[in-house]
Amino acid sequence: MDVNDTFVYKDINTPVGIIHIIATAKGLSGLLWEGDNYIRTKLPAASYDEHAPILIQTELQLKEYFARQRKIFDIPLDFRGTAFQIKVWRALLQIPYGTTITYGQLALQLGDTKAVRAVGGALNKNPIAIIAPCHRIIGTSGKLVGFAGGLRNKAFLLDLEQQYRTPTLFDS
């Protein structure tokens, strides 16, 4: 196993509970919710390392995000999943802070309106919550649906972003 495939982690306290952050030398690979496990994301077990630079950088940027001082993360990411899953997770990075889209809109952006269920499946496996913002995906009716961190945390994140987003020309 090469050093780039060695996984390290640390736990951090946040307003949405303890978050388990996981990284390799290449970048952040996981941001798991309190009580979440590796099975959902299929990440391998990691060794504790509170001094790993990517984990320190992630913790700092998350603190800034929750303090409403950061809207865009610039942490290197090391997604681990299928080609389709990674395509979906990378598409999440394009959804602007403070906005939401539906599963169908995300499938359309990916070029296949019939892929709504597949998109939902990939979102369920998203290993880097918050930073790859699957909380910004909502149901067609506008309801909050499906979120590994729980709907209460999804609502919290959306409220945080909605209150502190920059208005656009499209706002009425």
User: What pLDDT is stored for residue 4 in this prediction?
Assistant: 61
30: Cβ–Cβ under 8 A, 6 or more apart, which residues?
9, 20, 21, 22, 23, 41, 43, 46, 127, 128
Digit-by-digit pLDDT tens for the chain (172 residues) are 455 679 999 999 999 999 999 999 999 999 988 877 667 777 888 889 999 999 999 999 999 999 999 999 999 999 999 999 999 999 999 999 999 999 999 999 998 888 888 999 999 999 999 999 999 999 887 788 778 787 898 999 999 998 766 555 545 4
**pLDDT at res. 41:** 79
Close Cβ partners of 29 (under 8 Å, ≥ 6 residues apart): 7, 22, 23, 43, 77, 78, 79, 80, 127, 128
* Residue of 22, 55, 75, 134 with catalytic role: 134
Q: How far apart are CA 83 and CA 85, in angstroms?
A: 6
What pLDDT sits at residue 172?
47
Q: Please tell me the predicted confidence (pLDDT) of residue 135.
A: 95
Q: Which stretches of the chain are DSSP H helices? A: 38-41, 53-66, 83-92, 103-109, 116-124, 151-163
The second-level CATH assignment, the architecture, of 3-66 is 2-Layer Sandwich (3.30)
- 55 closest CA partner among 32, 86, 87, 72: 32
pTM of full prediction above 0.85: yes
Catalytic-residue membership of 134: yes
Q: Please report the pLDDT score of residue 148 as a whole number.
A: 77
Please identify, in words, the CATH class of the domain defined by 83-163.
mainly alpha
User: In the chain, where are the structural domains located?
Assistant: 3-66, 83-163
Question: Which residue matches tokens 């299929």?
Answer: 42
CA pair distance 30, 40, nearest whole angstrom? 11
Return d(Cα 46, Cα 155) in angstroms, integer: 30
